[in-house]
Amino acid sequence: MFDRLKILYELQNLDDQLDELEELRGDLPNAVEALKEKIENYKKEISEKEKERKNSLEKRNDNEEEVEKLKENQKKFKAQLYQVRNNKEYDALTKEIDHTEEQIVKLEAESDFLADQSKKLADEIEEINPQHDTLKEELKAKEADLKEIIKANEKEEVKLRAKRKEIEALTKKADYSAYMRIRKAKKGKAVATIKRSACSGCHNIVPSQRQLEIRRNNKLFFCEYCGRILVSTEIADTVDV
């Protein structure tokens, strides 16, 4: 039982040190993630606008070809007007001419609209591009900072992680899941000791009878107030910090 308690204390000890290393990174990991997301969004926005612009240009080209064709037809129809033999033919032909004219007007109006749209999209892309570039620069700088911090403590972290793995393997499954659950709920601290008759986690007084029981090191006790695992100072003293 002594070892079981000692292992939990050691686990906490290693996690404290790893947490400290994590803290050195400050907000950098979050900032890097946030920047990456923003950059990805800009990238998506730019590529969507470029696609839209390309479609718009293609449609305009199609329209222009169509208008050319219609104008050719129009010429033919107008030439035919001079050769009509009766009113019926004349009416049919003028109807054709009017219809073609309507189509031309419609297509040209659409092309004008598409041209405006293309211009608007180009302006928007031009506006986003520098913002996109700025964020990319920012990300580069932040990533470099983070890398430097990580590198400075790399050896220590690798050592701590290896040691933690060893200890984790030695921890009883039920103890480990209790430890992790409390650690999550209590922002890192799952194991507390008794200091001046109080729980070192929440500073509430531990009844003296309970203190006696804890000192026997033969049972897992939880603080009545904060729920942390309580170990005796004797256990704590056997663990090298």
The three-class DSSP label of residue 70 is helix
Q: How far is the CB of 192 from Zn ion (least distance, A)?
A: 6
Q: How far is the CB of 206 from Zn ion (least distance, A)?
A: 8
Our CB check for Zn ion shows the closer of 100 and 201 to be 201
Our CB check for Zn ion shows the closer of 39 and 192 to be 192
Provide CB contacts within 8 A for 131, sequence distance 6+: 42
C-alpha Rg value of the chain to the nearest Å = 38
Our CB check for Zn ion shows the closer of 43 and 186 to be 186
Whether the Cβ atoms of residue 21 and residue 160 lie closer than 8 Å to each other: yes
Residues facing 53 on adjacent strands:
none
Residue with tokens 């009766």: 86
Our CB check for Zn ion shows the closer of 176 and 225 to be 225
Q: How far is the CB of 163 from Zn ion (least distance, A)?
A: 26
- Give me the residues that bind Zn ion (CB under 5 A), please: 199, 201-202, 223, 225-226
Q: How far is the CB of 167 from Zn ion (least distance, A)?
A: 23
CA angle, 136 then 140 then 146, to 5°? 140
